[in-house]
């Protein structure tokens, strides 16, 4: 995977995110969180692409190398899907600020594409998707289950057992029997059957969202994250200009 050089450093006045106005403080806090989320998403998306490029060459085989790669990809997907849920919770919690005239003024200064991705995300987060409110709730419910049952919490072992059953009963032609690598160290060990169970659990959760929902979500995150970058950039530019005028 070729390394893309980062753009040069640009500095700004810290007062951009430390305004005196109470309403502006709320907007600044949300934008700062979007910057934080952007970095987190970027890290996981980079890991996702890196793992895929380091996959063994050729067609899939039942080898430890393929199993390790596949397990890591599944893990990154689960984390990213769970993060989407947390972003939607942020939107719901900060509804007042996000729907304020000040925040909408900021969004209006962004490109059409950025506004499209942001407004679509807000619509889902506030349960008012133009396509289908029921579909929006179904989407939220699926992400919440992935977050709570496969990623951040380990108190739902029965769901994972169901995933294991789906993976190995009956025995899958390609997947074969449950297997592990039981090395003498952590680095040389992995329980591939647990990866398979988690994958089947996620697939069952995403199934109501349509075919290839997982791939669609990963692509969606890239577009959403780029919109976050544009919003943060617009806010820094706007606030910097305001501070310069006031001096």
Residue 49 has pLDDT above 50, yes or no: yes
17-23 LR contacts (CB < 8 Å, sep 24+):
17/239, 19/239, 23/100, 23/102
- 119 pLDDT exceeds 80? yes
Q: How far apart are the C-alpha atoms of 76 and 39, rounded to whole Å?
A: 15
**pLDDT of 172:** 78
Query: Do residues 193 and 180 touch, judged by C-beta distance below 8 A?
Result: yes
Give the pLDDT mean for 69-77. 95
Distance CA 139, CA 120 (A): 13
What pLDDT, on the 0 to 100 scale, is given for residue 29?
98
Q: Which of 110-124, 205-219, 230-244 shows the lowest mean pLDDT across its residues? A: 205-219
Reported as a pLDDT band with limits 50, 70 and 90, residue 133 is: very low
Cα–Cα distance measured from residue 84 to residue 93, given in angstroms and rounded to the nearest whole number: 14
- pLDDT of 69 reads 95
**Segment 60-76 mean pLDDT:** 93
Better-scored residue on pLDDT, 133 or 145:
145
Mean pLDDT score of the chain:
91
Quickly tell me which residue has 């692509």 as its tokens.
219
| Percentage of the residues of the chain whose pLDDT score is greater than 70 | 96
Burial of 127 (0-12, 13-18, 19+ CB in 10 A): middle
Q: Note the pLDDT tens digit of each residue in 153-177.
A: 999 899 999 999 999 998 877 778 9
Q: What pTM, to 2 d.p., does this model score?
A: 0.90
Q: CB atoms < 10 A from the CB of 93, how many?
A: 12
Distance CA 222, CA 208 (A): 22
Structure confidence at residue 217 (pLDDT): 86
For 169-198, write each residue's pLDDT tens digit. 988 777 789 999 999 999 999 999 999 999
- CA distance linking residue 51 with residue 53, whole number of Å: 5
Tell me the per-residue pLDDT of 15-35, one tens digit each, with 9 for 90 and over: 999 999 999 999 999 999 999
Indicate whether 246 pLDDT > 60.
Answer: yes
């Amino acid at each position: 995977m070729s390394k893309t050089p980062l753009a040069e450093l640009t500095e700004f006045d810290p007062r951009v995110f430390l305004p005196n106005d109470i309403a502006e403080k709320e907007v600044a806090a949300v934008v700062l969180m979007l910057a934080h989320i952007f970095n987190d998403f970027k890290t996981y998306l980079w890991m996702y692409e890196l793992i895929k490029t380091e996959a063994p060459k050729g067609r899939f085989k039942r080898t430890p190398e393929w199993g390790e790669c596949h397990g890591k990809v599944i893990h990154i997907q689960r984390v990213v899907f769970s993060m989407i849920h947390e972003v939607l919770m942020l939107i719901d919690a900060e509804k007042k600020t996000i729907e304020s005239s000040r925040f909408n003024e900021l969004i209006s200064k962004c490109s059409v594409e950025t506004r499209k991705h942001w407004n679509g995300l807000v619509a889902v987060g506030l349960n008012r998707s133009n396509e289908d409110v029921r579909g929006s709730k179904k989407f939220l419910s699926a992400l919440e289950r992935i977050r709570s049952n496969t990623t951040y919490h380990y108190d739902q072992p029965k769901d994972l057992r169901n995933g294991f059953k789906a993976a190995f009963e009956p025995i899958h032609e390609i997947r074969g029997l449950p297997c592990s690598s039981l090395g003498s160290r952590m680095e040389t060990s992995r329980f591939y059957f647990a990866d398979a169970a988690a994958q089947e659990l996620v697939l069952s959760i995403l199934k109501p969202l349509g075919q290839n929902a997982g791939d669609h979500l990963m692509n969606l995150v890239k577009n959403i994250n780029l919109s976050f970058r544009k919003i943060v950039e617009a806010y820094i530019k706007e606030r910097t200009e305001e501070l310069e005028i006031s001096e």
